Structures are given as structure tokens and as C-alpha cells.
Structure 1
Amino acid sequence: MHELPVVLDIIRVMDEEAEKNKIKKINKISLVIGELSSIIDESVQMYFEVAAKGHPCEGADLVFEHRPAMLRCQSCGKKFPHTRDFQCPDCGGDSILIKGTGREFYILSFDGQ
């Protein structure tokens, strides 16, 4: 359910961009979703299809790019994407989450005419 306000924000931003750039139809919107953001692609798609009716982005293809949370090894300092555990793939040391990674959700780009 928390995807609905996010979708409404996407539509608002696309309305503003369409007006500012004199775009009549937005065909594609690329979105970045971090693995820890709790945003679900299917829910965004479902809400978007309903809420975008009558807007320049109605019928636009949504393209989802997923970003992993990033970790930093406390022993050797290596940075790497989170997979299944917090163990460094190089030295086996314990790692911590790099603040702000994996929680992204934003519009990367859009195409229109």
C-alpha cells in the first residue's frame, strides 16, 4: 500500500517535466529501486496503470533497475554488494552496511515526445 504515494509522486513529477519540456506523451520511465527500500515492482506497476490515466505518462513503460545494498569490510576495507551474508569475499572479515545504500528509489530517466 505504501507504493501508492510513491506512484502519485512519480506522476506529479512526470506532469511537471512534460509541461516544462513541452512533452505531450511520456513513453518510458526508468526507476531505480534499492533492495532495502521495500518498494515492490509489481505494486508500483499496478498503481501506475490506474493512477496515470489522463496524464502524459499514461501507458508509459516502467523500467526497474535494482540496486543492491553495499557493504564495507571492517578488516580490509573492501566495498562489495550485499548478497547473502555480511562476510567479505576477499578476506572473510565481517562487514557493515554502507549508509544510504540499498534504500534508493528515484526516477533515473524518461523518454517522451
Structure 2
Amino acid sequence: MHELPVVLDIVHVMDEEANKNGMKEITRISLVIGELSSIIDESVQMYFEIAAKDHPCEGAKLVFEHRPAMLKCQSCGKEFPHEKNFQCPDCGGDSNLIKGTGREFYILSFDGQ
């Protein structure tokens, strides 16, 4: 249910962008979702179809790009995507989450006319 407020924000931003750019219709919206953001594609899609009604982005195709959380090895410094464990694939050392990664949620781009 926490997807509803972010979907309403997407619709609001698309209204502003359509107005600012003289667009009557937004046909495609690319969204970036981090793996730790707890945003679920299907919920965003469902709420979007309802919230976008009678707005320039009604019927727009949503494209989801997923971003992994990134880790940094404490031993060798290698940065790598999180994949089930926190061990470095190069040296086997322990790693830490790189602050801010995997929590993204934003509009990457949009198309329209």
C-alpha cells in the first residue's frame, strides 16, 4: 500500500512535465527501483492505472529498471552487487553495504507527444 503515495507523485510530476513541455500525452515512463526500496512493480502498475485516469500519462507504459544494493569489500575494496551474501567474490572478505545503494526510486525518463 505504500506504493500509492509514490504513484500519486509520479502522476503529479508527469502532469507538470506535460504542461511544461507542451505535451498532450505521455506514452512511456521509465522508473528506477532499488532492490531494498520495498517498492513492488505490480503494485505500482496497479495503482498507476487507476491514478493516471484523465491525466496526460493515462495509458503510459511503465518500464521498470531494477538496481541492486552495492557492497564494498573491507579487505580488498572491490565493489560488487549484493547477491545473497556479503562475501567478496574476489577475496572472500566481508563487505559492507554502500550507503544509498539499492534504495532508489525515481523517474529515469519519459516519452510523449
> TM-score, normalized by length of structure 1?
1.00
- Rounded to whole Å, the distance in 1 between the matches of 2:45 and 2:68 is 21
2:36 equivalent in structure 1:
36
Q: Which amino acid aligns with 2:71?
A: L
2:63 equivalent in structure 1:
63
Poorly superposed stretches of 4+, deviation over 6 Å? none
1:6 equivalent in structure 2:
6
- What are the ranges of 5 or more consecutive residues in structure 1 without an aligned counterpart? none
> TM-score, normalized by length of structure 2?
1.00
- Rounded to whole Å, the distance in 2 between the matches of 1:59 and 1:93 is 48
CA deviation string 1:16-51 (max 9, x = no partner): 000000000000000000000000000000000001
Q: Which amino acid aligns with 2:45?
A: Q
> What is the percent sequence identity of the aligned residues?
85
Structure 1 residue 64 displacement after superposition: 0.1
Structure 1 residue 68 displacement after superposition: 0.0
Whether 1:106 and 2:71 are equivalent positions in the alignment is no
- Rounded to whole Å, the distance in 2 between the matches of 1:51 and 1:96 is 38
- Rounded to whole Å, the distance in 2 between the matches of 1:74 and 1:112 is 45
Structure 1 residue 54 displacement after superposition: 0.2
